[in-house]
Amino acid sequence: MLNIAICDDDDLIAHQIESVLHNIGDEENVKIDTDVFYSGNDLVREISSGKKFDLIYMDIQMENGDGITAAKNIRKKDEDVMIIFISSYDRYVMELFRLDVFSFIRKPIDRDSFAQIFLEANQRICSRNHFISFKYKSQEYKVLSKEILYFESKARQINIHVRDGNKYVFNGKLSEVEKGLSSGKVTFLRIHQSYLVNYLLIKSRSKSNVTLINGEVLPISEDRQKEFSKEYGRLLRGEIYV
């Protein structure tokens, strides 16, 4: 799930951006949650209160808190959030580079250019390091989510199988793990009552099993085969059914 802030004091443009984002998200199977702000000051206050965004679309010229000042204040709170400025003017470009802005979009918005920049931003966000954190026997652990092959439920415990061969364990339910991962940047698919698999690390699949990149084969339970095939096909941007 991408958490996106849209900040523009023009209501029509703000909702145009929101509509285009959700359309692209539907087309590209990218889950998006958007919040609209009509001033830089409102957005800064929201971030200062603890709200986290992955991506911000920001107008430069606004009456109540211009975009550049807002971006400077946001950078004091969050060094990682990606910022894309939208403006009718390009005289601010040099200032934007100093703020580590990802891109600049000129108004009026061209949908094809907008989509290309969004997909590039999404790819950059997804490539960042995201961790799964958990506790076991008074110790706190974190594991890079993109390196997890699969989660295995066994005797009221969750085993985390990692690409490098290591295995971690903690107490919990696989259904709760699955729910917690649903808004993450790495997609995990439920293939069995006991297995939750990293989609990116599936090498191949058949009707009844998946083969991971390390050669390990895991079964797909009969009751999950249709839903798994549908979701797997959607992630491949094709309608693949077995």
pLDDT tens figures, 209-238: 999 999 999 999 999 999 999 989 888 754
- Give the whole-number percent of the chain exceeding pLDDT 90: 57
- Measured CA to CA, the distance from residue 151 to residue 235 in angstroms comes to 20
**Which residue do the tokens 């907008």 mark?**
114
pLDDT score of 93: 60
Residue scoring higher pLDDT (95 or 43):
43
Q: What is the mean pLDDT of the chain?
A: 88
Strand partners, 33: 3
Report pLDDT digits (tens) over 169-201.
999 999 999 988 876 778 899 999 999 999 989
| Model confidence pTM above 0.85 | no
Q: How confident is the model at residue 40 (pLDDT cuts 50, 70, 90)?
A: very high
Contact by Cβ (8 Å): 105, 117: yes
Contact by Cβ (8 Å): 135, 179: no
| Nearest C-alpha neighbor of 184 from the set 226, 129, 230 | 129
Q: How confident is the model at residue 44 (pLDDT cuts 50, 70, 90)?
A: very high
Give alpha helix (H) positions in 78-173. Answer: 93-98, 111-127
Mean local confidence (pLDDT), 127-140: 80
Residue type, 31: K
Please give the sequence-ordered ranges of beta strands (E in DSSP) within 92-234, or none if there are none. 103-106, 131-136, 139-144, 148-154, 157-162, 167-171, 188-192, 195-198, 202-205, 209-212, 217-219
pLDDT score of 221: 97
**How much is the CA Rg of the chain, to the nearest whole Å?**
21
Mean local confidence (pLDDT), 65-92: 85
pLDDT score of 57: 97
Q: Is the pLDDT of residue 1 over 80?
A: no
Tell me which of 19-28, 64-73, 144-153 is least confident: 64-73
